[in-house]
Structure 1
Amino acid sequence: MKKKQVIIIGGGAAAFFCAANLDENLFEVTILEQNSEVLQKVKISGGGRCNVTHACFDPKELVSYYPRGNKELLSVFHKFQPGDTMEWFEQRNVSLKIEKDNRIFPESNSSQTIIHTLTNEVSRKNFQIKTKSVVLEIDRLENQYLVKTNEQHYFADHVVYATGSSPKSLKLIQNLGHQIVEAVPSLFTFNIKNETLKDLMGTSFALAEVSIPKLKMLETGPMLITHWGLSGPAILKISAWKARELAAAKYQFEIVVNFLGIDLETAEEIFKKFRQNHPKKTIGSSKIFEITSRFWHRILWLSKVDLEKNISNISAKELQQILTNLCANSMKVSGKSTYKEEFVTAGGVDLKEINFKNMSSKILENFYLAGEVLDIDAVTGGFNFQACWSEAWLIAQDLNSKVF
């Protein structure tokens, strides 16, 4: 029996996981990657450790981490979820570990472990990997596709489109008849010039609360002061859930930051109790809240309170100013920065045009889509990779089950 030709366009997580699960007795597979290296996002993920997935094994809970695609992914995760991902890698002698925040990494703490596993699996099947291969055009023929690259042309019985969300790749798929939801950045940090944050880069808060009053949006979680403004899970979650609205606002908006993550009344009680127990201390030397001394001194400076002032002499007005700066600090965001190198977008191929039983196109026959080219994205923590693994696995299972 003559093997069918599968062309996989893209050399990322979804592309390689699909190829790694295809039956080499049925298919000849060629992966086309435009860059000189494959699996580049896998390489840099998790600070070079590769955040493979997340220890969330209930599909209903898992989809809650996806601002776009949550309804569609429910059936996908019922078929292949993080537990299956762990088993797949462990069957190939990759030891994985679950960290305190439930992110899952290889025991080796190196993304190369994951890259080697995927590339070895593909090479073992004698599938072709072509780098520096830029797809210029895809033509539909009667029973096949003609994939034209900068180097040569390929005939494909089946195409797996896993390119990521670059404008060129979205234009290519649009030319074939698919609707595109405009791509906008997701998972980004907030650029803020504010005296509260100045020169305090690296200061972190265990459980902050950030809200965008105009959008009625509130998120909690760890937060970090950066050179440009604010980052950390609390910020990244907001940027993911409100990606479209923040793009529409041209990344100019007001936020209210609660550095303590507790309400004003509770903070006031804590302060008064501390003052009662330590009436002779100076306000500057008082360790009242779980924040650094440097940040506490900045708050006192903003509140126009002398560090040497005795805590028992703090007026009601001064106390309210301190608590407002700590728990209801209004700031102007004036731009965004990419979160590390892990650029994620909201947008891509319209999900109404995808059959989520097998990730096939409803527009194009024998054509599959997976990964960031779809209008699916997640918060940080291994969730974007999990969508790639699950979608790619479904494609491979569907192709493997076909009777030719």
Structure 2
Amino acid sequence: MSKIEKKQVVIIGGGASGFFCAANLDENKYNVLILEQNSDVLQKVKISGGGRCNVSHACFDPRELVNFYPRGNKELRSVFSRFQPGDMMEWLEKRNVEVKIEDDNRVFPISNSSSSIINSFVNEVVNKNFEVKTQQSVQSVIKENNRFLVKTKTDEFVSDYVVYCTGSSPKSLKILEQLNFKIIPLVPSLFTFNIKNETLKDLMGTSFLNAEVSIPALKMEESGPMLITHWGLSGPAILKISAWKALELAKLNYNFEILVNFLGINISDAEDLFKAFKENNPKKAIGTSKIFDITNRFWHRILFVSKINLDKNISQLTKVEIQLILENLCAKKMKVTGKSTYKDEFVTAGGVDLKEINFKTMEAKNIENFYLAGEVLNIDAVTGGFNFQACWSEAWIIAESLNNLN
């Protein structure tokens, strides 16, 4: 019996989706070539989570999981029903990469090093004798007689199947436009708010466990941990709101008003706490009064912007002064005047229109044997391992689809 000739797969992009797809392809059926334009592969995986690699999130119900995706939630429901965070954790542990679930449900390798994840992917690809070529910038993809001609600056490759996992670079999207894909314009998602406000001045690093942030103009509110940075405000509460309202905030040119509740409790509840403390400690100086769960530095800053002397006796405060303190704590208006991308977690909204994709296989509807996954698609999530999980799940589905072809 003659040996079955292997088909050729070219994976464009040596990042999370591309490598995980290759790691799951059947080496008995396919020769696989990964083309990466940079000098190193898996760069985003390497720097994710401060180098620890936030590989996924411990949410195992697809119906709940999709709620973390501002774009793609409907389409990902079926994807996650086939490969979800529990499957990814099992995949890694089968390859001797132990993972842990942290208190906030983010999943990391026990080693606290992204190299554990990278090595598991690279080892799979090497063991299958697949080829990886770096510094190969793809210039065009042309379909000819049921095969693809992939041109880089220096080479040409012929392939039976193409897996397109380039991330959201404008150049890679232009190649897709030439193939008649509909592209949704790119805008940043997951960014911090630039704010110049006396309340935040010189308080970089001050954090709040459960703040509430709303954008009145967009009728949007989020809650969660928040952090004062050198530029303004960051942390999950800010990042979530930036992701869910990425398109609207781009239209506002990142100039808008926010309402911040640093305490994360109703202003009337804060008033009750204040009054109770005042009754029990009538002779206490306001500057040394520990009424709320905030740092002394921030408390003093609130008193400063409220124009109240730190040495003033708490029983001497007027109703107007108390109300001003409470408003600065629970309903502080601030003007956002720009954005900063969030460290290494930067992602974009926009990319290939999801109507172009068959999510049962991740194959393009308009080009047979052409598959797409990862950030090139108009799918993005809040921070916490969700963006990587979409990459793993989509890439796994492509590999399964190809492996099951006759």
Partner of 1:96: 99
Query: Which of these residues, 73, 76, 90, is aligned with residue 73 of structure 1?
Result: 76
Query: Which of these residues, 240, 244, 260, is aligned with residue 237 of structure 1?
Result: 240
Q: CA deviation at 1:359?
A: 0.4
Query: Which of these residues, 127, 130, 133, is aligned with residue 130 of structure 1?
Result: 133
Q: Give distance in 2, aligned partners of 1:400 and 1:368.
A: 13
Over aligned residues, Cα RMSD in angstroms? 0.5
Aligned counterparts, 1:14-29, within 5 A: 14-29=17-32
Q: Give distance in 2, aligned partners of 1:171 and 1:335.
A: 28
Q: Is the 8 A contact 2:345 2:383 kept in 1?
A: no
Partner of 1:394: 397
TM-score, with length taken from structure 1: 0.99
Partner of 1:348: 351
Q: Give distance in 2, aligned partners of 1:105 and 1:273.
A: 43
Q: Give distance in 2, aligned partners of 1:342 and 1:265.
A: 37
Secondary structure of 2:200's counterpart equals coil
Partner of 1:338: 341
Partner of 2:11: 8
Q: CA deviation at 1:390?
A: 0.3
Partner of 1:317: 320
- Deviation >2 Å, runs of 4+: none
Q: Deviations over 1:161-186 (max 9, x none)?
A: 00000100111111101000011000
Q: Deviations over 1:148-200 (max 9, x none)?
A: 00121000100000000010011111110100001100000000000000110
Secondary structure of 1:94's counterpart equals coil
Aligned counterparts, 1:194-205, within 5 A: 194-205=197-208
State whether structure 2 residue 35 is matched by structure 1 residue 54. no
Q: Deviations over 1:30-62 (max 9, x none)?
A: 000000010011001111000000000000000
Q: Deviations over 1:62-91 (max 9, x none)?
A: 000000000000000000000000000000
Query: Which of these residues, 239, 256, 261, is aligned with residue 259 of structure 2?
Result: 256
Q: CA deviation at 1:342?
A: 2.1
State whether structure 2 residue 71 is matched by structure 1 residue 45. no
Q: Give distance in 2, aligned partners of 1:127 and 1:87.
A: 23
Secondary structure of 2:344's counterpart equals coil
Partner of 2:288: 285
Q: Give distance in 1, aligned partners of 2:68 and 2:101.
A: 18
Q: Give distance in 2, aligned partners of 1:196 and 1:172.
A: 47
Q: Give distance in 2, aligned partners of 1:195 and 1:397.
A: 55
Q: CA deviation at 1:19?
A: 0.1
State whether structure 2 residue 379 is matched by structure 1 residue 380. no
Q: CA deviation at 1:263?
A: 1.1
Secondary structure of 2:104's counterpart equals coil
Q: CA deviation at 1:140?
A: 1.1
Partner of 2:270: 267
Aligned counterparts, 1:135-214, within 5 A: 135-214=138-217
Secondary structure of 2:221's counterpart equals strand
Q: Is the 8 A contact 2:92 2:98 kept in 1?
A: yes
Q: Give distance in 1, aligned partners of 2:398 and 2:117.
A: 20
Gaps of 5+ in 2: none
* Matched AA of 2:392: W
Q: Give distance in 1, aligned partners of 2:321 and 2:16.
A: 54
Q: Give distance in 2, aligned partners of 1:128 and 1:377.
A: 29
Secondary structure of 2:294's counterpart equals coil
State whether structure 2 residue 398 is matched by structure 1 residue 362. no
Secondary structure of 2:383's counterpart equals coil
Partner of 2:231: 228
Q: Deviations over 1:78-113 (max 9, x none)?
A: 000000000000000000000000000000000011
Q: Deviations over 1:118-175 (max 9, x none)?
A: 0111011010111100001111101101000012100010000000001001111111
Q: Give distance in 1, aligned partners of 2:337 and 2:277.
A: 37
Q: Give distance in 2, aligned partners of 1:363 and 1:165.
A: 20
* Matched AA of 2:297: R
Secondary structure of 2:291's counterpart equals coil
Gaps of 5+ in 1: none
Secondary structure of 2:371's counterpart equals strand
Q: Give distance in 2, aligned partners of 1:137 and 1:368.
A: 15
Query: Which of these residues, 97, 116, 119, is aligned with residue 119 of structure 2?
Result: 116
* Matched AA of 1:394: I
Q: Give distance in 1, aligned partners of 2:230 and 2:183.
A: 35
